[in-house]
């Protein structure tokens, strides 16, 4: 069995105890259930490797947050901004960053 099957139950239990996860959250252990989640961060690995790492944790945190936000936007997970609609994505970012598009 992969190591992750041993790690997730205590983590979920701790998060539920700390009230960060509702008690209704159920951990279903099947090696295929996490596949979509695991595949979703592949884009980060592809983008970060050419950068040859980060000099500090804060730089890494801020840069990765930016990458993730842009990825969410491109995937169409922002309400009112459709996947593939580059013009609405550009307008959304201009509005958020308060710059002219």
Most confident of 18-22, 23-27, 70-74: 18-22
Residues 29 and 45 both lie in one domain: no
The total number of structural domains in the chain stands at: 2
Residues 47 and 96 both lie in one domain: yes
Residues 8 and 49 both lie in one domain: no
Question: What pTM value is reported for the model?
Answer: 0.49
In contact, 47 and 67? CB cutoff 8 Å = yes
Residue 1: pLDDT band (50, 70, 90) is very low
22 exposure class (CB count in 10 Å sphere: 0-12, 13-18, 19+): exposed
Residues 49 and 73 both lie in one domain: yes
Residues 28 and 69 both lie in one domain: no
Residues 50 and 98 both lie in one domain: yes
Residues 27 and 51 both lie in one domain: no
> Structural domain of residue 21, as residue ranges?
1-34
């Amino acid at each position: 069995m992969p190591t992750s099957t041993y790690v997730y139950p205590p983590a979920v239990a701790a998060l539920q105890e700390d009230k960060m996860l509702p008690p209704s959250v159920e951990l279903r252990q099947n090696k295929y259930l996490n596949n979509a989640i695991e595949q979703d961060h592949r884009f980060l690995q592809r983008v970060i490797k050419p950068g040859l790492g980060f000099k500090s944790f804060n730089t890494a945190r801020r840069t990765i947050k930016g990458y993730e936000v842009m990825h969410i936007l491109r995937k169409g997970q922002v309400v009112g901004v459709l996947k593939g609609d580059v013009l609405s994505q550009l307008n959304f970012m201009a509005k958020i960053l308060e710059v002219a598009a």
